């Protein structure tokens, strides 16, 4: 896969999804591994929704000043 093709595949949803997945992981000090947080499915979806809503708010000129 070329760099141009990889750059074409990156979308705001992809970025939000990866960040949401990372947000749902936590370090387990007993096993030494990363594990999913309780309710990770809902946490990830909430993170993605909030991220995309924030981007839309910024792009439409909304500011809270």
> How do residues 20-64 score in pLDDT, each as one tens digit?
999 999 999 999 999 998 988 999 999 999 999 998 888 887 665
Query: In this structure, what are the phi and psi dihedrals at residue 42, rounded to the nearest 5 degrees?
Result: -75, -35
Dist. CA 44–CA 19, nearest whole Å: 8
Q: Tell me which DSSP letter residue 40 carries.
A: H
Rounded mean pLDDT of 7-17?
83
pLDDT at 1 over 60: no
- Lookup: tokens for 54: 């924030």
Report CA-CA distances (Å) from 16 to 11, 35, 43, 50: 9, 19, 12, 9
Say if pTM beats, i.e. exceeds, 0.85.
no
Q: Tell me which DSSP letter residue 47 carries.
A: H
Contact 23, 47 (CB under 8 A): yes
């Amino acid at each position: 896969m070329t760099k141009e093709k990889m750059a074409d595949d990156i979308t705001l949803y992809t970025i939000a999804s990866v960040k949401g997945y990372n947000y749902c992981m936590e370090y387990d000090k007993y096993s030494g591994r990363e594990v999913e947080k309780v309710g990770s499915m809902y946490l990830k979806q909430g993170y993605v929704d909030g991220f995309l809503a924030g981007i839309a708010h910024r792009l439409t000129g909304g500011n809270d000043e």
